[in-house]
Amino acid sequence: MFSPRRLLVAVPCLTAALAAVLTAAPAASADLVSLSACNSNTLSRYFSPWADPAYYELAPGGSFSDSSWTLAGGATLVSGGEPFAVLGSVSPNSLSLPSGASATSPSTCVDAAYPDIRFFVAGSGTVGVNVIYNGTVIPSGVVPAGGSWMPGPITVTGSAITGAENGGTAQIQIQLVGLSGNPEVSDVFIDPFHGG
């Protein structure tokens, strides 16, 4: 039979047990996951005009000013890019990703401090965002293109998982895949502090 008195005793006991578990969890994970940045790249609030106060760094080759990304399936570098001059001048190049095409970045260091990827997108269709870690492709999100250049939504790197597995840091690659249509991508960034 239900007893209000038993409930009054049980709730505080369950609350105390849950609090003990939650308090112990951060201490245990602190030894596994590094929260400091892996490198000393320049950070800036590139997306602040779009109400995103986070600090980002440019991903390796993320401005597409050179051919450091590996292109496949019809992916090409094309003239023109985001017009907002977030890097100090209008982007001269972008990445065209027709359906089935892919582009893979050079390796970069991530840890639990590098959870987010964000870039500018234009054209039509969708871009799949993957992280490649130890040869394994980890889906991170889908970014729709909506015509003119705009920042895409934030996707995640999975760095807390990959970093925890390898002593706090890991080398990953970012892979962008044309899922539909013919989207274009400009200026790929990583947020090392997840929201600023």
**Percentage of residues in the chain having pLDDT higher than 90:** 49
**Percentage of residues in the chain having pLDDT higher than 70:** 68
CB 65 within 8 A of CB 93: yes
pLDDT value at residue 171: 79
Residue 193's nearest CA partner among 138, 154, 142 is 154
For CA atoms 122, 75, 101, 116, the dihedral sign is: negative
Strand partners, 71: 103
Mean pLDDT of all residues belonging to the chain: 78
CB 72 within 8 A of CB 42: no
* CB half-sphere exposure, 84, CA atoms < 13 A: 17
Query: Using one digit for the tens of pLDDT, what is the confidence trace for 162-189?
Result: 554 555 677 789 999 999 999 999 999 9
Q: What is the DSSP string of 99-142?
A: TT-EEEPPPEEEETT--EEEEEEEEEEEEEEEEEETTEEEEEEE
pTM exceeds 0.85 for this model? no
Query: Using one digit for the tens of pLDDT, what is the confidence trace for 5-45?
Result: 443 443 333 333 323 333 333 333 333 444 555 666 778 99
Query: Using one digit for the tens of pLDDT, what is the confidence trace for 71-125?
Result: 999 999 999 999 999 999 998 999 999 999 999 999 987 765 567 899 999 999 9
